Structure 1
């Protein structure tokens, strides 16, 4: 039985990924800072072999017996990155490079790096593929670009990094986030009866349900090494590219009586990237995505109603990562370097 280390196992994606790995025959080990350990919604998370661990502090001993790494741990979005440049550089970039170097030295065969389509920026191309110019517009996006390049340089026979460029993720997780686009649009529809779009709604985003996302990680983990060695993949399918206005309309159609409000504002986020997923489809021809925004909206509606989600919940610290970090800082639980006191 192979052992897979998942960094960030206690987060939004890791909480869904780790049980899937365990039921797929892997021994799972998890390391996580536990910043969001109490941000729970819905079902209980199965226990795995895990410990609280800052990825900046991982040492050689922490990679002993590991066959593959799935590296999810990161400050997870632009607002957090913009709060403090140093945090993003240290955690998202330097710690990722350090982890990859340790993994290589420990004989880890496969290193899956959770990257992002955000690195394409406001692309002028009709669609962006893995060879399109990168145009990172934010500190978070630059951290992904710089980490990919540094880790790619480490590749050699016996150490195969794979760069999984995800789009916007949505869907229910035990450690829920409401600061991703579609999760928030649906939460707004449920709790306020309105869905507000602060741009013209035309920007494109590749959106993927979290349960499909974790299933793609299994594909990269189990593919023959010659198919994935030191390669980047736009992670998704053509039909998953949606415009923001489409997602808002789906939210309104799903939640009876919800009103769509378009408030185009100067300075609104106009980044747009419609991703080309030909490489993924060619490499994994038998993989089928099981969710779309319409079915995901129904899942979210049922989940929000089951927990009586309020607008206070929607805007509170539990489900908005920036507010969660600010709370820990304000309470003195984290110091100025985002380390537990």
Structure 2
């Protein structure tokens, strides 16, 4: 496993080189040095955000339970401005300790995915909802200036509306979506517009791409992994719409909010993605076949996944100037490059799927600390 991870790190060095088609480009504008706490900073998005923040000169503390292994930040561990703490966001004393002295908190800690959340609904609610309220209360009490919370466009569920805005009705179809809606409420009930911390919520599109904590349970990544390994992909339904966003672009969106004046972001919810990044599942499959032309694509009419929604991203573009830089094809190419060059990286290994890994190791979700005993 260690040699596989070494190859992953080498691949990421290649992908963040000067190749304009694959590098994780970020804005160079100086926002002033900040002391930033990343909750869940060892995850798929968190590791990417941590690297970009360190490159911009910020002090970064990561608190993560490292459910999927603790080597995702290995390459960054030598950075003098990075502190990594292994622990649980449900531990109130630990949360207060790591948050003290931080001016910015980004909460990415969560059980992510419909199937993963069903493994232990009680733990899901503790981590995704109750801990979110605890984080907001602690941030307010300690005088944190900025608080950012990751939610999901899955909260929209299924809609016939052409483009969904932040004010559109929510229609959760899973425990995961329900928990993220309640997490938004828990956060905003403790803070709200015009109070400190200045709080904003990102409803993220479905992420794709490669990071220091690889995932192959996201639709673009899953289909690319199947095409690369098995030479075929199966599309169920195919006409369902999904908003999509590269993990590097998601990190850039968060950085944009860190730079922004608090009067702009306070109390706001941002659909996070780009207007040209709403695609059907069939269109995703077709783009994969374009880059892996030997792939056999089978389309079946029936789909158990009812999610079907297109999302409007006007607010984040207007207020934060955010536009994605990565296309779906960029991300597929990046994944193929990673699979070709990371020796032993198997997209079907359990560790790269939230559900399969947690289903094999359910005990790691349990907490014996703080409010949650």
Normalised TM-score (structure 2): 0.84
- The Cα of 1:326 is off from its aligned counterpart by 2.7
**What's the Cα RMSD here?**
1.8
Match 1:297 to one of 332, 353, 363:
332
| Counterpart position of 1:14 | 46
Alpha-carbon distance between aligned partners in 2 of 1:38 and 1:185, rounded to the nearest angstrom = 26
Aligned residue runs from structure 1 range 168-179, under 5 A: 168-179=206-217
Aligned residue runs from structure 1 range 139-218, under 5 A: 139-153=175-189, 154-155=191-192, 156-198=194-236, 200-218=237-255
Q: Deviations over 1:115-158 (max 9, x none)?
A: 10010110121110000001111111111111111221222432
Secondary structure (helix, strand or coil) at the match of 1:315 reads coil
Pair 1:337 & 2:366 matched: yes
Secondary structure (helix, strand or coil) at the match of 1:28 reads strand
Alpha-carbon distance between aligned partners in 1 of 2:69 and 2:325, rounded to the nearest angstrom = 28
Match 1:103 to one of 133, 139, 157:
139
Answer yes or no: is the 8 Å Cα contact 1:191–1:309 preserved in 2. Answer: no
Pair 1:46 & 2:76 matched: yes
Runs of 4+ in 1 over 4 A off after TM superposition: none
| Counterpart position of 1:306 | 341
Alpha-carbon distance between aligned partners in 1 of 2:247 and 2:43, rounded to the nearest angstrom = 12
Bigger drift between 57-66 and 7-16 goes to 57-66
Match 1:2 to one of 20, 31, 34:
34
- The Cα of 1:61 is off from its aligned counterpart by 2.5
| Counterpart position of 2:356 | 323
Alpha-carbon distance between aligned partners in 2 of 1:272 and 1:227, rounded to the nearest angstrom = 30
| Counterpart position of 2:12 | none
Alpha-carbon distance between aligned partners in 1 of 2:171 and 2:71, rounded to the nearest angstrom = 33
Alpha-carbon distance between aligned partners in 1 of 2:359 and 2:314, rounded to the nearest angstrom = 40
Secondary structure (helix, strand or coil) at the match of 1:294 reads helix
Alpha-carbon distance between aligned partners in 2 of 1:137 and 1:305, rounded to the nearest angstrom = 36
Alpha-carbon distance between aligned partners in 1 of 2:329 and 2:37, rounded to the nearest angstrom = 33
Alpha-carbon distance between aligned partners in 2 of 1:11 and 1:187, rounded to the nearest angstrom = 19
Q: Deviations over 1:191-216 (max 9, x none)?
A: 00001112x21111110111111011
Q: Is there any run of 5+ residues in structure 1 with no aligned partner, and where?
A: none
| Counterpart position of 1:86 | 122
| Counterpart position of 2:58 | 26
Answer yes or no: is the 8 Å Cα contact 1:39–1:176 preserved in 2. Answer: no
Bigger drift between 251-260 and 287-296 goes to 287-296
